[in-house]
Structure 1
Amino acid sequence: MTRLAALLALIACAGGAAAARLPSRRLTLRACAAQPPPQPSQPLPPPPEGFTVADEWEVPPGCSERRITEVLMEHRAADFPSATAAKRLVRRRQIRVNGNVVGTTTNVAAGDFVQRLERLGAGLRPLQRSDVPDGMTVLYEDEHLAAIYKPAGIPVHSGGGGDGSSGEEAKTTAYAPKKSVRTFLPSLLAPTEEVGALRRPIHVHRLDAATSGVLLAAKTQTAVRELSRAFADRNVRKRYRAVLIGVPAVLGGDGGFNATAAAAVDSSEPHVISAPVDGRASVTEWRAVNITRSLRFGYLTTVDMWPRTGRKHQLRRHAAEVLGCPILGDTKYERIPHGDEGNFGISHGMGLFLCAVELRLAHPLSGQDLCIAVGEPPKFTKTREREHRRFLDLADAGAAQDDDVEM
């Protein structure tokens, strides 16, 4: 019994010693996981005034000597999804290697220390608030993004007319002011204190100069990246309001001047246009809101349109070329409605009756659902009322008994 007791005591002692060693082993693992990031071999200069170091890392062993843009894309793919994004930040002098500003052709190798700098606040001195055009207002704003209302006639950025004209042609059009939305954004929006603030806010999508409506702008690098990705992945739902000349064939009209093109309307999904634009697949969802009698145009059809793709002038071309009912005031795609040659260009000078009235998306940082909406421009309602009143006043008594048709 004595020998057995001694053996049991020895086993218990060995088990206790093993158990006592386990916590220390776990502590060792925790200590390894909590080690600070690698530090440069020699002190680096501090970032310039107005900037902070947002990210820094050492190029790992085994990494062959390559250009800085390739290294950024490989080791920080979330921040640099493309070569363009990497080159942009390098050119802005916001990438340092071993404390030195680099160029897009600079090579880095294993052991080099890379830093990414970001602004601590907006760096552009804005214009006077009084310089902002009438009608350009802020619909939503936070520290990362904003939504504004862009009036018709103001280009999003300078260099073109926004209605399909070149820069030279734009100089002779009404849609070529010296300043653009991009010029006015710093005056319109409050500066952000977020790390990664842009030098000045920038739009993340476009509207034609002749088109009014909701426009999104980013105030930080993170917002630019995430909003651009949302638009590229078609995760932003856009609704436009337009007034068309005539009645589309699918609603019982004659299809305007191009009735055969109405066959491109996808009958398997009502009110969906699937027709290529410049050889690229393009899809537009639409529904009628109102049909109004008009002495000059016969009928005006007010529609809501949701582009599922984002081709240049997609809505304008689908309306004119597929539905056969051009958007009222479209100087580029309007043709002879209803075969009446005397009506060619009759709506020119009225402005384009197309407005981006709603944007739906998830906030790029919080994930919260955002719905930014405005009503249709007053000229839409006034034009419908005026045209219908003229029809009632001047048309034959029998034809003038038709009222507006609400869809």
Structure 2
Amino acid sequence: MGEQRSLPVPEGLEGERLDAALARLFGFSRTRAAELIATGDVLVDGSIAAKSDRVHAGAWLDVTIPPPPATPMPVAEPVPGMTILYEDDDIVVVDKPIGVAAHPTVGWTGPTVIGGLLGAGHKVATSGAAERQGIVHRLDANTTGAMVVAKSEFAYSHLKRAFKERTVDKRYHALVQGHMDPLRGTVDAPIDRHPSGDGRFAVVAGGKESVTHYDTVEAFRAASLLDIKLETGRTHQIRVHMSALRHPCVGDLMYGADPTLAARLGVTRQWLHAVSLAFEHPASGEWVSFTSPYPEDLARALEIVSDES
């Protein structure tokens, strides 16, 4: 049984669509509000209504909010293609392949870094939520490259603090559409969930501070290879910032990339790779650095775009 909420429609929402009114009142996305209305969990003056119905001030809303689905636990099984770049008693640095999430989330049924490590017999820290043990930072499921996981509790707390205090050097290479102007620069624009509620993120006033430094490594006819240093680590940060500059990552159809160019270069995901990761080792205090080579699909796309120039 979900949580029951009953309240009158405030005057400020007079004439709004029901889905928009619910989104405003409860902080849902419009999509989530529409789902609740469709399943009969929203009554207006005791009756089921449509999402497009207009609400009137004083009308009584009865809303049943189902409990959130439980986050699945990691499935301990080896992940093909995931290699170990470095490992000791405190940390393990993986080269994450395409189609692998950092840890389980609601709605993700594919392989995870945590599940892959456990399945291959590696120990990880038990700090943090059970489904994301040892995870101190994440890469999107379809972003490849270097990612560190804490094995000891000491390393977990040390690395969590290092990422929070921005003392970790995170570098990415991105192939973006067109040419950057200026060739190097900084994007300082706040990011939050896209108002559509469709899983995208966007530059939104009042969002979380997000800072991306970029430098052009090479400009081709159709695209540019960028070296990117992240100061903050928001979800989809590079993808959102590049899209906001009208230079989305090649192949990133979610953020407005050209499908024709993606098809010509044979990429079926965003051309974005976590090329290196450097930080102070939790145990020794030494500055350590790890690099990941381009995977086959990105290397091939770069070859094609270079040959065309």
| Shorter-chain TM-score tier | 0.5 to 0.7
The answer as to whether partners of 1:213 and 1:356 remain within 8 angstroms in 2 is: yes
The answer as to whether partners of 2:277 and 2:289 remain within 8 angstroms in 1 is: yes
Counterpart of 1:45 in structure 2 is none
Counterpart of 1:271 in structure 2 is 185
Residue 232 of structure 2 is aligned to residue 305 of structure 1: no
Change (3 A) 1:197 1:208: closer
Q: Give ranges in structure 2 of 5+ residues lacking alignment.
A: 1-74, 193-206
Q: Distance in 2 between matches of 1:373 and 1:362?
A: 15
Aligned length: 217
Change (3 A) 1:349 1:387: closer
The answer as to whether partners of 1:334 and 1:345 remain within 8 angstroms in 2 is: no
Residue number among 84, 89, 92 corresponding to 1:138 in the alignment: 84
Residue 236 of structure 2 is aligned to residue 325 of structure 1: no
Residue 287 of structure 2 is aligned to residue 287 of structure 1: no
One-letter identity of the residue aligned with 2:150: A
Q: Distance in 1 between matches of 2:301 and 2:225?
A: 11
Q: Distance in 2 between matches of 1:381 and 1:190?
A: 30
- Stretch moving more, 131-140 or 240-249: 131-140
Residue number among 133, 139, 144 corresponding to 1:212 in the alignment: 144
Q: Distance in 1 between matches of 2:262 and 2:297?
A: 19
Larger radius of gyration: 1
Counterpart of 2:94 in structure 1 is 148
Structure 1 residues 224-261: Cα deviation after superposition (integer angstroms, max 9, x where no partner):
1111111111111100111111112324xxxxxxxxxx
Q: Distance in 2 between matches of 1:154 and 1:145?
A: 19
The answer as to whether partners of 1:243 and 1:327 remain within 8 angstroms in 2 is: yes
What is the Cα deviation at residue 364 of structure 1? 1.1
The answer as to whether partners of 1:214 and 1:357 remain within 8 angstroms in 2 is: yes
Change (3 A) 1:189 1:230: farther
Change (3 A) 1:309 1:134: same
Counterpart of 1:236 in structure 2 is 168
Q: How does 1:17-36 map to 2 (within 5 A)?
A: none
Q: Distance in 2 between matches of 1:228 and 1:214?
A: 16
What is the Cα deviation at residue 385 of structure 1? 2.2
Q: Distance in 1 between matches of 2:133 and 2:87?
A: 12
Structure 1 residues 39-63: Cα deviation after superposition (integer angstroms, max 9, x where no partner):
xxxxxxxxxxxxxxxxxxxxxxxxx
Change (3 A) 1:325 1:191: closer
The answer as to whether partners of 1:202 and 1:218 remain within 8 angstroms in 2 is: yes
The answer as to whether partners of 2:250 and 2:257 remain within 8 angstroms in 1 is: no
Q: Give ranges in structure 1 of 5+ residues lacking alignment.
A: 1-125, 161-166, 171-175, 252-269, 294-298, 337-341, 392-402
Q: Distance in 1 between matches of 2:261 and 2:86?
A: 40
Structure 1 residues 318-339: Cα deviation after superposition (integer angstroms, max 9, x where no partner):
11112x1100121311255xxx
Residue 300 of structure 2 is aligned to residue 382 of structure 1: yes
Q: Distance in 2 between matches of 1:136 and 1:357?
A: 15
One-letter identity of the residue aligned with 1:227: L
Change (3 A) 1:351 1:335: closer
Q: Distance in 1 between matches of 2:126 and 2:100?
A: 26
Is the partner of 2:114 in helix, strand or coil?
helix
Q: Distance in 2 between matches of 1:244 and 1:151?
A: 20
Higher relative contact order (CA 8 A, sep 6+): 2
Is the partner of 2:137 in helix, strand or coil?
coil
Residue 280 of structure 2 is aligned to residue 358 of structure 1: no
What is the Cα deviation at residue 190 of structure 1? 4.3
Q: Distance in 2 between matches of 1:186 and 1:315?
A: 29
Residue 296 of structure 2 is aligned to residue 372 of structure 1: no
What is the Cα deviation at residue 344 of structure 1? 8.9
Kindly report the root-mean-square deviation, in angstroms, between the aligned alpha carbons of the 2 structures.
Answer: 2.8
- Stretch moving more, 207-216 or 196-205: 196-205
TM-score normalized with structure 1 length: 0.49
Is the partner of 2:134 in helix, strand or coil?
strand
Q: How does 1:170-185 map to 2 (within 5 A)?
A: 176-177=109-110, 179-185=111-117
* Residue identity (%): 32
TM-score normalized with structure 2 length: 0.63
Is the partner of 2:297 in helix, strand or coil?
helix
What is the Cα deviation at residue 203 of structure 1? 2.1
Is the partner of 2:224 in helix, strand or coil?
strand
Change (3 A) 1:344 1:300: closer
One-letter identity of the residue aligned with 1:361: F
One-letter identity of the residue aligned with 1:288: T
What is the Cα deviation at residue 136 of structure 1? 0.5
Change (3 A) 1:225 1:317: same
One-letter identity of the residue aligned with 1:286: Y
Q: How does 1:242-261 map to 2 (within 5 A)?
A: 242-251=174-183
